[in-house]
Amino acid sequence: MKRYTLRLFLTFCVVIIVIALAGSESFALDPLFELDTKVLHSKNQKTSQSGPPVSKAPAAGVPNKKQQTGAGSKRLKVKHGSHGKTLRNSLTIAGAKEPSRVKRKLLFKTASSGMVVHSFHMAAGSDGGIKWTRKVWDRILLPGRHQNGPLVVQGSNYSLSLDPDRYPVFPAADGGRIIIDAGMTLSPLIKTILREKDPGIRIVSENPDDRKRFFSSLLKAAKFYSVEENFSVDFGSDPKLAVSSDFKIEKTPESLMNNDVVLVNVAGNSRGMPTSLISFLEKEGFHVIGSAPPISEAPDGRKMLYRIEGSSQDSIVDDLFSALSTPCEKNKNLVLDDGALSGVTLSVRADRYSESNNGKIVVSFSEENPVQYTLLRLLELKGYRVVMLNPEDDFREISEKVLSSLGLPAVYGMQPLWVPDGTPFNVQLSGFVVVGSGRNGMRRFLTNVPIDPLVRALAQYKGFDVIVK
């Protein structure tokens, strides 16, 4: 009985040992915890116990090694060495397009070294909008500061490198480095290693094709003294030049005092600035950097800036009719009574007379004559539209009366010269905007404000015919 019990006990022990050995040949490890950063920094890491090689079988639902090393996957190698013996960890990481939940295959081989060395290599990918970013960045910072080779981070027990094509590196304003992870493929482990080894490293994970959002993140990571988004600044009062930019950058606390402020436009729908405006802004202490070239609009006859500088009422009226392309006669005699019934012929002199689709227009420069006033009222009874000007009427009052008589409703005030269309600047000035009928109707801006050379150049850049009377 004792022999039978002893044999049964020995048999049970053998079974337990076999099960234990079989269980040690495969195990599952969450890919987020493949390596412990504390282990990476440990100088006295213990080597694995001697014994037969142990291989990790892939977890359920995970492709085998041949499937993982196909197109779209990248290889990350980790090497360990100790006292002449080596331990190799070979990680096959799915490409950027594959879901992050795909597990990684980990293969172990024999090792017995006290020193551990890790080597990481990220393969190349598409550069997206990185080329234009480098050009813009070179103009903001001093050129030649880019790191052409791979970013390499080394510790006492590991070495890590990033492929410069897939993970470009940009210099930061404070001396740090910015890694572009457009595909968001850097694992938490790699990010932790980078940040722990070099606190000056920042990672930007925005898509460069979304220029403004990407550049916003890039500028925040660069640690400039001041960055303002959607910036605008005005020059002058009437006319007033309004300049906008996606970003305003002050590199140092002295940038404003030193007239060294940078304006950056990167949005794809924006238009460039002409050289005349860039030169003006340079004198004002603003350096302009834009991703869009200047595109001047050719005049097509549908936009006009008309400056009326007449000092007398009659010259103002004449210039108004000319700007509106409306025929106008001076000192025309209009018959009130041809004498057919009364035998008395009566006519009235109209200072200005015009006929349009809205009827017959009479303009009178009032002399406060009761007889003249009565005769003009008689003209109104006969269907004429009479505009009587007072001696104190200026450009604004005269224009309001004439435009109203012609059926052209317009309001006087500070108004933009052109409808906002993505151009990073506009000119506002006092005057009337007269828009023709139809979608492509002519846009006339009537003003008595002096037009300086810069305003003229910007208006012509936007396709306006500029006429100064």
Report yes or no on whether pTM surpasses 0.85.
no
DSSP bridge partners of 447? 307
CA gap 321, 442 in Å, rounded: 15
pLDDT at 232: 94
DSSP per position, 252-302:
STTTTTTT-EEEEE--TT--PPPHHHHHHHHHTTEEEEESS---PPPP-SS
Rounded to whole angstroms, how far apart are CA atoms 432 and 411?
6
Residue among 359, 401, 403 at smallest CA distance from 379 = 359
pLDDT of residue 9: 62
Sequence-ordered list of residues with C-beta below 8 angstroms from that of 121, at least 6 positions apart, any chain: 75, 76, 77, 161, 163
For residue 302, give both structure tokens: 């549908």
DSSP state of 344: -
Q: Which residues pair with 179 in a beta bridge?
A: 169, 203
What is the C-alpha separation between 104 and 211, in angstroms, rounded? 33
Q: What is the pLDDT of residue 33?
A: 37
Q: What is the pLDDT of residue 7?
A: 63
Amino acid at 306: Y
Q: Is the peptide bond before 239 cis (omega within 30 degrees of 0)?
A: yes
Residue 4: per-residue pLDDT: 54
CA distances from 126 to 163, 247, 323, 469 (A): 11, 27, 56, 58
Mean pLDDT by 10 residues, the chain (469 residues): 58 58 43 42 41 41 41 36 34 32 31 34 44 85 63 79 86 90 88 86 88 92 93 94 94 89 81 89 91 78 90 91 91 81 81 86 82 84 89 92 90 92 91 82 91 94 91
